[in-house]
Amino acid sequence: MPMGDERILIKFNVGDKVFLKVASMKGVLRFERRGKPSSRFVGPFEILERIGPMAYRLALSPSLSTVHDVFHVSMLRKYVIDPSHVVNYEPLKIDENLSYTEQPIEVLARKVKILRNREIPLVKVLWQNHRVEEVTWEREDDMKARYPELFEE
């Protein structure tokens, strides 16, 4: 094996329980992106079958019936069964592309970003979905178009 190609092979067995990675979609393209987009895991789901070396078929819940049931290993996280562990189940509406929509709560601040000869008004938005809160800077015109109720006084 050549140097620098030390990949960690993750392998699951049929019957194992795993969490499935989903991503949040705020409905607008990020103007200023710092770090990675928010991710969360849903489940656990049982592995029904191994499809090749890197993909697995899962027993998905009926709410995910529109989602293809085979996933790459990078989308899965092993769930270690612990009888004392109670998994809080919160119904989360997940789209076909394994994303969910967050809702803006309020505008916390405003600033103007200057790019050469342009000024771009930005707003700092507090988002929430199922007890998870996040703050991001978004373009003010995009937010006014999608969420006019945030700007009513």
pLDDT digits (tens, 9 = 90+) for 71-116: 888 888 888 776 666 555 555 566 666 666 677 888 888 999 888 8
- On whether both 83 and 138 belong to a single domain, the answer is no
CA distance 82 to 85: 5
Q: Quick one: 95 and 20 in the same domain?
A: yes
Q: Determine the Cα–Cα distance for residues 139 and 153; give it in Å rounded to an integer.
A: 19
pTM for the structure as a whole: 0.49
| CATH code of the domain covering residue 37 | 2.30.30
**What is the count of structural domains for the chain?**
2
- Predicted confidence at residue 131, as pLDDT, reads 55
Specify whether 16 is located in the same domain as 86. Answer: yes
Residue that finishes a domain, picked among 84, 100, 116: 100
Name the amino acid, one letter, at 94: I
CA of residue 87 relative to chain centroid, distance: 19
36 lies in the same domain as 109: no
Alpha-carbon distance 101 to 7, whole Å? Answer: 33
Instruction: State which of 60, 85, 100 marks the end of a domain.
Output: 100
Q: Both 36 and 85 in a single domain?
A: yes
Looking at 100, 122, 144, the residue that finishes a domain is: 100
Do 109 and 144 fall within a single domain?
yes
Of 42-46, 90-94, 143-147, the one with minimum mean pLDDT is 90-94
Are the CB atoms for 125 and 138 separated by under 8 Å? yes
Is pLDDT larger for residue 132 or for residue 121?
121
Can you tell me which residue has the tokens 């709410």? 63
Q: Which structural domain, as residue segments, surrounds residue 117?
A: 102-153
Residues 18, 71: one domain? Answer: yes
**Is residue 136 packed enough to be buried (19+ CB in 10 Å), middle (13-18) or exposed (0-12)?**
buried
Q: Are 54 and 106 within one domain?
A: no
Residues 57 and 120 occupy one common structural domain: no
Same domain, residue pair 73 and 125: no
Do 130 and 83 lie in one domain? The reply is no
| Distance (Å) of CA 117 to CA 41, 52, 64, 141 | 42, 53, 47, 18
In whole angstroms, give the CA distance from residue 45 to residue 61: 8
110 and 96 within one domain: no
